[in-house]
């Protein structure tokens, strides 16, 4: 049987358990160029919230009754493909399901001796490539510059900050609790990290950024961006890969004064770059990012943290928690045992 979680109804605001449904179906024999796979690890990421909306975007929305989208690491159980054989480990966008049959074009072969399999959907997967591409192509960090990273303990933010340190930046993180802040400093090597829930958050950030901000990595939006906005230096760069504080909005009308005029004035007078990007547009650099970051991991320059949840049925709860900042590191659902890991 193939268990999968489908989108039962479109959420209004924050997703609820009733928006998802766990169903079972018979596994399907692979046809030409297809493989039957067993999912080991499945990724949960904030972008999935946007796929639940029936709105025009950079990617097609998940249809009602269709399985939720996700990247996953799997093992081939049965193959009718010349590219993959039984026993191979693969990664691809195979959705919230445990034993699907998929086309070979969806998958890439993994080398289990290169790194733990779970990293293929984390630091050596889409989140890691997001950090690498955004820093290389848009942030372009220079020695001595100040980099501020929102969602600093997350899968993307933690990697961004460490890449900044590799390039000689002063790195200030923003996270949602003191434990996460302490971790980013002690493990990831950030110079400082501050809790955005602290009543003195804006003042603390200003004090830490006395020389201004050259790069702001935007994962969040909202109050984090408001705090950074007055601190930008001339020619500051703002790569935007997420706006998690806005994902559950039911209206584009926000409380408070209109801050767009101030932002546009700064963009002009300070000759700043505000660049939204989608990592899938830059997958021609994926292999480069994997090779470079694998080297940094081996050299001890790049560390990562994974937050595991056991069982496909726990995915909706974990996903809702992710949107509220309850994860700590890369959120991964473990669906079946990893045969490469010793018990």
Residue-wise pLDDT for 223-252, tens only, equals 888 899 999 999 999 999 876 655 555 455
Query: Which one, of 90, 116, 81, 110, lies nearest residue 37 by Cα?
Result: 90
The answer to whether residue 181 is domain-embedded is: yes
More confident: 244 or 271 = 271
CB atoms within 10 A of CB 88: 18
Dihedral, 234, 237, 240, 245 alpha carbons, nearest 10? -40
The answer to whether residue 275 is domain-embedded is: yes
The answer to whether residue 289 is domain-embedded is: no
Encoded tokens for 74: 């799997």
110: CATH? 3.90.180.10
- Report how far apart, in Å, the C-alpha atoms of 111 and of each of 124, 235, 298 are: 12, 41, 16
pLDDT, tens digit, for every residue of 77-129? 999 999 999 999 999 999 999 999 999 999 999 999 999 999 999 999 999 99
**20 neighbors 6 (Cβ within 8 angstroms):** yes
The answer to whether residue 196 is domain-embedded is: yes
pLDDT at 19 over 90: yes
- Note the pLDDT of residue 262: 78
246: CATH? 3.40.50.720
Distance CA 271, CA 303 (A): 34
The answer to whether residue 287 is domain-embedded is: no
Residue 7 and residue 131 share a domain: no
Is this prediction's pTM over 0.85?
yes
pLDDT, tens digit, for every residue of 28-56? 999 999 999 999 999 999 889 988 988 77
Q: How many domains does the chain have?
A: 2
Residue 234 and residue 107 share a domain: no
Residue 228 and residue 87 share a domain: no
- Note the pLDDT of residue 219: 80
Residue 183 and residue 51 share a domain: no
Computed from CA positions of residues 117, 122, 126, 131, in that sequence, does the dihedral angle turn out positive or negative?
A: negative
Residue 80 and residue 210 share a domain: no
Residue 141 and residue 85 share a domain: no
Q: Buried (b) or exposed (e) across 117-131, using 16+ Cβ within 10 A? A: bbbbbbbbbbbbbbb
Give me the domain span that covers residue 196.
Answer: 126-281
Last residue of a domain, one of 281, 296, 314: 281
| CA 341 to mean position of chain CA atoms | 24
Residue 249 and residue 187 share a domain: yes
Residue 316 and residue 251 share a domain: no
Confidence of residue 216 (pLDDT cuts 50, 70, 90): very high
Distance CA 275, CA 146 (A): 18
The answer to whether residue 110 is domain-embedded is: yes
Burial of 312 (0-12, 13-18, 19+ CB in 10 A): buried
- Note the pLDDT of residue 263: 80
Residue 261 and residue 231 share a domain: yes
pLDDT at 9 over 80: yes
Residue 329 and residue 266 share a domain: no
The answer to whether residue 296 is domain-embedded is: no
Residue 66 and residue 15 share a domain: yes
Residue 270 and residue 134 share a domain: yes
The answer to whether residue 243 is domain-embedded is: yes
């Amino acid at each position: 049987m193939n268990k999968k979680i489908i989108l039962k109804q479109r959420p209004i605001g924050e997703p609820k358990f009733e928006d998802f449904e766990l169903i079972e179906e018979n596994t399907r024999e692979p046809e030409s160029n297809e493989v039957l796979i067993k999912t080991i690890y499945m990724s949960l990421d904030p972008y999935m919230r946007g796929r639940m909306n029936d709105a025009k975007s950079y990617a097609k929305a998940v249809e009602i009754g269709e399985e939720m989208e996700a990247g996953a690491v799997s093992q081939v159980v049965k193959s009718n493909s010349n590219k993959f054989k039984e026993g191979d480990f693969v990664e691809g966008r195979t959705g919230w399901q445990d034993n699907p049959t998929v086309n070979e074009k969806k998958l890439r072969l993994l080398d289990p001796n290169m790194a733990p399999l779970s990293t293929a959907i984390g630091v050596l997967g889409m989140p890691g490539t997001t950090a690498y591409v955004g820093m290389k192509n848009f942030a372009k960090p220079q020695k001595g510059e100040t980099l501020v990273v929102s969602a600093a303990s997350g899968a993307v933010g933690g990697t961004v900050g460490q890449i900044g340190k590799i390039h000689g930046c002063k790195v200030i993180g923003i996270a949602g609790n003191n434990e996460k802040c302490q971790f980013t400093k002690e493990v990831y090597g950030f110079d400082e990290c501050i809790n955005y829930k602290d009543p003195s958050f804006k003042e603390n950030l200003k004090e830490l950024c006395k020389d201004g901000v050259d790069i702001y990595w935007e994962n969040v939006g909202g109050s984090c961006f408001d705090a950074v906005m007055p601190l930008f230096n001339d020619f500051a760069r703002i790569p935007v890969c997420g706006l998690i504080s806005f994902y559950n909005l039911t209206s584009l009308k926000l409380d408070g004064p209109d801050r767009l005029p101030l932002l546009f004035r700064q963009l002009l007078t300070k000759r700043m770059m505000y660049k939204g990007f989608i990592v899938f547009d830059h997958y021609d650099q994926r292999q480069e990012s994997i090779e470079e970051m694998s080297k940094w991991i081996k050299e001890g320059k790049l560390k990562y943290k994974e937050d595991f949840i056991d069982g496909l049925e726990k995915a909706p709860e974990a996903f809702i928690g992710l949107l509220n900042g309850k994860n700590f590191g890369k959120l991964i659902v473990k669906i079946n045992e990893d045969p490469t890991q010793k018990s």
